[in-house]
Chains A and B, each alone.
Chain A
């Protein structure tokens, strides 16, 4: 693409010369590095509740963030007005982090990446709104038809199309067009006037609307949510105390995200505040575990052509056969620690400073037959689905809540269990992985990761895994 054909040049009349001028302004007080992040975000969302389309919203937000790095310091300003005067003013404010005469010259900008991991011609947000409403209505109907005990169904569908342009003082210029869509279904079911139970399902990715017609239909998500709610009606109280835990494949990969992923983000490690700090080359997990973060998988929710600092994403091996191999880097941390960037600099929007973040994080498949893993456990807990998780990266302690789990008795799944929370310590829990299945599965595409107030879409994945002695927080 020539610069003049790019989104921001065509729509806002921004020239390459303008970008270089703004970057020079940002460096005018002696900063070492500067970048500009332009964002134009168009969003749509639909909410169905009680079979009524209760909300339908569309909107646009746009702006530019200017960052200046001086040594280990960062100055940041943004503007929601893309006029040259307003961008210049933001650059001047960000420049104030340094104090002195300019010392770095702007490198002429050169356009970077060429690949496209989501070559989507018509983004969902460019299709007729009515078609998207109809998809959401199909989910509502399918959930209600699944079982007469279903009494409340909530469907939400949201998509967005983000146009970004990143220009940096070291000459990087990149554009990206990032579509994202997600459908989510929440179902309540009850027996007569009994206690309602909830089921939840959803998915999507950087896909066309046809994804929801061909690959993962509204009926698929609706039936899955309804199934989970119905299963919960017969659930017994969760056990309390240490148990052998088997995680099912797919979304339970959130364990890796919490137990390992956050603790391997380079900012925490550079500062020495992570339980994984200073442990590269050491055994931090069982030799059965190889964990990667891969931002390059076509169409996935956590994938990006370029990260939010303009660098190509890549596949990074974090833990290889139990040995810690590397951290997730962004520009600032890699500059300070003189490490190669890994394409993990991400931000929620132009109003936010980039940080090292995960993309799609998962464990590679092992050799065990998943059936055999369950059969190997005389007494324990099998977790098929999870709600959210959280980690304290300094102590390494993490928790996550199982939304669908079953007792394992004599090597068989027996009764469903409700309200089970798992808790463990990252570097410790991973050493107790004793079996890894051959059935790696990535999640359906629903993950949102929060860090220091910034949310970004991510993916997770895991094969069936057995972990010995994890604490299960129940009441029974």
Chain B
């Protein structure tokens, strides 16, 4: 069964569902191959190479919905999937807002979105292992205190997606992804408490030629692990907090949860009902854009067959738009923003394209230089963010800023505030925006947060 044969399977599934009594139907088929090579202490540790596929079906009988999926794409497997979805639809409740996008909303972006690289799919295994080896070696060779490692890896995946619905949409695309990452461990005066620290760095691309040099990844990861050695716990106090880009991304993830349509119509968000209001400082502009060629959040259509687009979510501090799929749009009396997202099981949820904070004017070094006593956060752990209330409290690791310099490492502390105060208290946004994944942010300075320690 080739990728080229999947669209016909999707269309045939739709026909069978309609024949069995569905009034509307959607079928998603996805296939993927994954590869990973892990090396550790300069030896190959794991090789994984495999692929799988699956199909999902959602049917509507009037306003009742049922869904099913299968990894068996044989004629019999598909027949059972159709039967199962139709049976379930009879057991669900009528939902007045259930439905597919209107035919006029369906479509696919034209032109080459640069999502797939055949060369990456065909890269020889030796070359993949070599990239992981070089990344780890660069970390181990960087400093004698990098005396251990959790390893380095080259990962890649090649996937294909087909979507068809009963309103005439049929679309498909392929995509590829690869990354090199390293996780070195820095050790000092072995055996003591807090004598060991790890950190990581990575590079990602659609095409392997777009990856940063593995040596660069290894060195950067080593530097990051080393600078954490000897971390101390500071006194409890309120200070300005700087989020480095990797950490600032998680803050965007929290905002996404608070602006996606489902949390809005359930009123389970601190941003529900705030359209048109000022929710952040004036230099804060947050964009969702699924159309940028070659990036990780890009696709020609969303998972309901609606073309992706660029949406200004927060513009100069004012909340301009939620991110919606058809269902949440129907609930809110709005139109979908092309943000439907789903795997092969269940209903479409809501996802983002390239979700990013627009860069500011100043380099991160200049932002740090202006701070007397502040906390530069390089890692956050735990799940202490409540997007219903906005309450925010997470475990943090980072470097203390003294008189404009990164002075000493800090760990085992928490930072706390509310998302409302954080967004309205942003002092500066850095110029260092980079697209390393589908969520991207530059350095952010937050005016004041509670750092809890000793």
Residues of A within 8 A of B (CB): 43, 45, 47, 49-63, 72-80, 90, 93, 96-97, 129-130, 133, 151-152, 154, 188, 195-198, 238, 240-242, 271-273, 275, 278, 351, 353, 387-392, 394-401, 418-421, 423-425, 427-428, 471-475
The yes or no answer to B197 lying at the interface (CB within 8 A) is yes
Contact of B52 among A63, A151, A421 (CB under 8 A): A63
The yes or no answer to B43 lying at the interface (CB within 8 A) is yes
Contact status B233-A401, CB under 8 Å: no
Q: Which 6 residue pairs across A and B have the least CB separation, nearest first? A: A473-B414, A399-B395, A399-B382, A59-B69, A419-B391, A240-B452
For B45, list chain A residues within 8 Å (CB). 72-74
Which residue on chain B has the smallest CB distance to residue A152?
B266
Contact of A474 among B48, B193, B393 (CB under 8 A): B393
A353 to B46, CA, bound (A): 9
Contact status A420-B393, CB under 8 Å: yes
Contact status A76-B266, CB under 8 Å: no
Given A74-B46, A74-B47, A419-B416, decide whether A242 and B454 contact each other with a Cβ distance below 8 A.
yes
The yes or no answer to B206 lying at the interface (CB within 8 A) is no
The yes or no answer to B388 lying at the interface (CB within 8 A) is yes
Contact status A423-B196, CB under 8 Å: no
For A388, list chain B residues within 8 Å (CB). 382-383
Contact status A351-B52, CB under 8 Å: yes
Interface positions, chain B 354-409, Cβ under 8 Å from A, are 379, 381-384, 386, 388-389, 391-395, 397
Residues of B within 8 A of A (CB): 40, 43-50, 52-54, 56, 65-72, 80-81, 84-85, 87-89, 91-95, 98, 148, 150, 185, 191, 193-194, 196-198, 228, 231, 233, 236, 266-268, 270, 344-347, 379, 381-384, 386, 388-389, 391-395, 397, 411-417, 450, 452-454
Given A93-B49, A399-B384, decide whether A152 and B452 contact each other with a Cβ distance below 8 A.
no
Q: Say how far A275's CB is from chain B's closest CB, in angstroms.
A: 7
A144 to B417, CA, bound (A): 31
Contact status A474-B397, CB under 8 Å: no
A198 to B269, CA, bound (A): 11
A351 to B197, CA, bound (A): 31
For A195, list chain B residues within 8 Å (CB). 270, 389
Contact status A473-B388, CB under 8 Å: no
Q: Say how far A179's CB is from chain B's closest CB, in angstroms.
A: 19
Contact status B72-A151, CB under 8 Å: no
Contact status A473-B384, CB under 8 Å: yes
Contact status B453-A421, CB under 8 Å: no
Q: Say how far A321's CB is from chain B's closest CB, in angstroms.
A: 21
A197 to B417, CA, bound (A): 17
Contact status B71-A271, CB under 8 Å: no
Most buried by B among A197, A271, A424: A271
Contact status A471-B84, CB under 8 Å: no
For A130, list chain B residues within 8 Å (CB). 91
Given A72-B43, A424-B412, decide whether A56 and B388 contact each other with a Cβ distance below 8 A.
no
For B87, list chain A residues within 8 Å (CB). 129
Contact status B393-A421, CB under 8 Å: yes
For A47, list chain B residues within 8 Å (CB). 346
Contact status B68-A59, CB under 8 Å: yes
